[in-house]
Amino acid sequence: MKKKENILLDTKLINVIDYSAFCAELDNGHRIIAYTKRSDNDLTQKLYNMGDRVSVEMTPYDMSKGCIVLQATSIKHESQSFC
């Protein structure tokens, strides 16, 4: 069985579509639908706001939607802890 190939991209949340779905914009201007994981659904309102930078995991087969895997603020904290 082949390894699952995913693409990780940085996006900015623009609009709230549903309780667990957001409109996100890539750095090149393309807009996608970014979904939260099922485990994050109860904390979605507290975790993500419009304008937040998040990392979205996408498959190469459908580049119109992706799953939010990491918020940009947590990336900054991890990189500062190593310095």
Would you kindly state where each structural domain of the chain is located, as residue ranges? 7-82
Q: Which CATH architecture has domain 7-82?
A: Beta Barrel (2.40)
**What per-residue confidence (pLDDT) applies to 41?**
53
Q: Report the distance separating Cα 7 and Cα 29, nearest Å.
A: 17
> What distance in Å separates the CA atoms of residue 36 and residue 48, rounded to the nearest whole number?
10
Cα–Cα distance measured from residue 47 to residue 73, given in angstroms and rounded to the nearest whole number: 11
Tens digit of each residue's pLDDT, the chain (83 residues): 567 789 999 999 999 898 789 999 999 999 999 998 766 555 545 567 888 899 999 999 999 999 998 876 644 444 333 32
pLDDT score at 19: 79
Cα dist from 7 to 44, 55, 79, whole Å = 23, 10, 21
